[in-house]
Amino acid sequence: MNTELIDQLKSFFDDVVLPKGYDKNIEKIREFAIAAKELKHRVIFITSGGTIVPFEKNMVRFLDNFSGGGRGSSTAEYFLEQGYHVLFFSRKNSLQPFIKNLMYHESDSFFTFLEHDKNTQHVKVSEHYYDQVSRHYLPWKKYIDSGHLIRLDFESVGEYLYYLRGISMELSILGKNLIVYAAAAVSDFYIPLSKMAEHKIQSMSKGLTISLDPVPKTIGFIVHLWAPKSFITTFKLETDDELLKTKSMQSLSNYGHQLVIANLLSNYRDRVIFYSPLLKDPLVILRETNDHQPIEIQIGKQLIQLHNNFLK
Ligand code: 9Z3
C-alpha cells in the first residue's frame, strides 16, 4: 500500500471518535472467528445501511446516506439458509434479517400483529398473525441462539471504518472461507473532530456553509492488508446508467478484488450486474415484475457459485 494512503487513513482514525465498547466488541468477534476457523465454517461479513456524518460533537444534526438495509438483511437471510455463518454489521435501527418483516408491516405497523386480551389485560400476538410472526421471528431467534448470526451496529462513518478494519482483520484468519460483502452506503465526506463545532450550530441569517474532508478509500486496505485472502465483494451505486459500467470496472482494476455488484438507484431492487475477473462476461441479474422473491436470492445463488469456484 502506498504510504500516502496509509497516512491519510491514520489521520482519519486520529480525527474521529473511537466507538464505545470497541475492544469488548472486537473480542467477541475474535471468539466468533476462532470458533469458525476451528469448525471450518464459511462466513460472510455483511455491511448494511447508511453511515452518517455528524455536524457537531454534541450531535444534533447529521448528514445521512441512502440505504434502509433491505439489501444487506435479505442477503443475510439467504446465506444463513445456505449454512453460512453471518456477521451482520448494520446501521443502528436499520432492517434486520427475518424480523425486518415484523418491523415494518406492509399495511400498518408492528402493532397490527397485536390484540388485547380482555381477560388478562395483556397484549398478545393475534391468532390471525401466529403463522406470520412465527415464520419471521423463529428463524431470527434460532440463528442468533445457535451463534450462526452475530450482529454489531454503527452510526457514524468513523465508527463504520473503525469496525470495518477491526472486523476484517479478525475474520481474516478464515482465509478463503470468508466473503466480505460491503453493501453499506458509506459517506464519501466527513468533518474531522478537529474542525467540528462542539455544540449545536446556532441558526444564522446568512445561512450555513459546511466544509467536508474526503473519507479515505478503504477497499484497497481490505484487499491488500486487512483480509487479503478473502472473497471481497463491493457495491457500486450510481444514478447515471452511463457511468455504472466504467465506475465498476475502474473499481475492479484499482483494487483487484473479486466482485463488484453494480446497481442504479432507480431500479436497484430489480437489476444488478456482476463484474468480476472470475466471470468471462458481466452477469446481469433481473427480477421479473411478477417475482415475489427479493433479488437478493439470485444475488446470493450466483455469489455462492463464485465463492465455490474461488475455493477450488
Ligand atoms: C449499494 O449500492 C446497495 O445496493 C444499496 C442498498 C445502498 C442501494 P437498501 O439498503 O439499499 O436495500 O435500501 N450499496 C453501496 C453504496 C455505496 O456507497 N457504494 C460506494 C460507491 O458506489 C462504494 S463502497 O461509490
| Residue 124 covered by a domain | no
Residue 105 has phi, psi (to 5 degrees) of -85, 140
Residue 242 lies in a domain: no
What is the pLDDT, as a whole number, of residue 85?
Answer: 98
**What CATH number does residue 176 fall under?**
3.40.50.10300
Instruction: Kindly report the pTM of this predicted structure.
Output: 0.97
Ligand 1 centre distance from Cα of residue 206 (Å): 35
Residue nearest ligand 1's atom 5 by CA: 67
Asked whether 255 lines ligand 1 (CB < 6 A), one says: no
Report which protein residue has its CA nearest ligand 1's atom 10.
Answer: 69
Please indicate whether residue 50, judged by its CB atom, sits closer than 6 Å to ligand 1: no
What residues make up the domain containing 157? 3-97+146-229
Q: What is the pLDDT of residue 57?
A: 96
Looking at residue 106, its pLDDT comes to 67
Helices (H), the chain: 3-14, 22-38, 70-81, 100-103, 130-145, 157-171, 219-221, 241-255, 296-311
Q: What is the pLDDT of residue 288?
A: 84
* Mutational pocket test of ligand 1: of 236, 255, 269, 273, the residue with most ligand atoms within 8 Å of the beta carbon: 236
Q: In this structure, what are the phi and psi dihedrals at residue 181, rounded to the nearest 5 degrees?
A: -130, 90
Asked whether 237 lines ligand 1 (CB < 6 A), one says: yes
**Considering the domain boundaries, does residue 209 fall inside one?**
yes
Residue 82 lies in a domain: yes
Would you say residue 250 lies in a domain?
no
Confidence (pLDDT) at 279: 97
Can you read off the three cell numbers belonging to residue 116? 388485547
Atom 3 of ligand 1, residue of closest alpha carbon: 183
Which among 63, 8, 30, 64 is positioned nearest to 218, based on CA atoms? Answer: 8
Q: Is residue 193 part of a domain?
A: yes
Q: Which residue has its alpha carbon closest to ligand 1 atom 21?
A: 236
Look at the chain and report how many structural domains it folds into: 1
Ligand 1 midpoint to CA 272 (Å): 11
Residue 287: other Cβ atoms inside 10 A: 19
Phi-psi group of 55: left, alpha or beta (phi > 0 → left; psi -120 to 50 → alpha; rest → beta): alpha
Q: Is 19 inside any structural domain? A: yes
Q: How far is CA 309 from CA 138, 150, 302, in A?
A: 33, 26, 11
pLDDT reported for residue 52: 98
Give the pLDDT score at 110: 82
For the chain, list residues with pLDDT below 70. Answer: 105-108
**pLDDT tens profile 151-207:** 999 999 999 999 999 999 999 999 999 999 999 999 999 999 999 999 999 988 889
Domain membership flag for residue 103:
no
* Distance, CA of 171 to CA of 180 (rounded, Å): 9
| ipTM rounded to 2 decimals | 0.96
